[in-house]
Amino acid sequence: MRDYREYLGEILVPEDKLQSRIAELGSEISRDFAGLDNLLLICILRGGVLFLTDLMRKITIPHAIEFMAVSSYGVGNRETSGHVRITLDLNVDIRDKHVILVEDIIDSGHTISAVLDLLTTRKPASLCVCTLLDKADRREVNVPVKYTGFSIPNKFVFGYGLDIDDYYRNLPFIGVVDLEKYQSGA
């Protein structure tokens, strides 16, 4: 994998902005769910991992975490088609739990919509979505999103959990891929 600096278009969300927004989301969630038992954060692997681990440290009320993984088949690997498959399911019963789904990004909405449909059948006490990024212009299916970190334009982004062809999830910021530069050097 080539060095990301060769195709980084711009830094869309720098580390300090990410962290201060995540702290705000943590406070909001702590306030909204105060006094309720059975709060469960479900992270969608793999993109949501960095967001989850930072967010949970800003949530001041007791909660548990679980993981799910989903794969979606699309046109190339940068599009979602709407065919979503659960590749790692939960090991716990979510009945009567207050569930927050933690996602890296909502694009077409197909992925989160499929997960919401599945989890709804399991009768949680409540179910909502917390996404770090939202590309609202790209939405193909309507999904209710309770917490959003940042609304972003329709650009391919990477870093802070999001990958460019499986790499660079570790970057502490959200960067825009200059696709022309990325593809020309491939």
Which residues form the interface with ligand IMP (CB under 6 A)? 47, 72, 80, 103-111, 156-158, 162
Which residue reads 């927050």 in tokens?
Answer: 100
**What is the rounded distance in angstroms from the CA atom of residue 97 to the CA atom of residue 92?**
10
107 binds, among Mg ion, ligand IMP, none (CB under 5 to 8 A by kind): ligand IMP
Does residue 47 interact with Mg ion by CB under 5 A? Answer: yes
Minimum CB separation of residue 51 from ligand IMP in Å reads 11
Does residue 26 interact with Mg ion by CB under 5 A? Answer: no
Does residue 161 interact with Mg ion by CB under 5 A? Answer: no
Stretch that binds Mg ion, among 47-55, 80-88, 141-149, 175-183 (CB under 5 A): 47-55
| CB-based contacts of 72, cutoff 8 Å, min separation 6 | 80, 81, 82, 83, 84, 85, 110, 111
Minimum CB separation of residue 161 from Mg ion in Å reads 8
Task: Provide DSSP, 87-104.
Answer: EE--SS--TT-EEEEEEE
Which residue reads 């009567």 in tokens?
Answer: 96
108 binds, among Mg ion, ligand IMP, none (CB under 5 to 8 A by kind): ligand IMP
Catalytic residue among 107, 117, 165, 166: 107
| CB-based contacts of 87, cutoff 8 Å, min separation 6 | 69, 70, 71
- CA atoms 119, 124, 128, 129: torsion sign: negative
107 an active-site residue? yes
Q: Distances in Å between the alpha carbon of 112 and those of 60, 143, 173, 183?
A: 26, 8, 23, 28
Residue 33 or residue 115: which is nearer to Mg ion going by CB? 115
Total residues interacting with Mg ion, rule: CB under 5 A: 1
Catalytic residues: 107
Q: Which residue ranges make up the site for Mg ion (CB under 5 A)?
A: 47
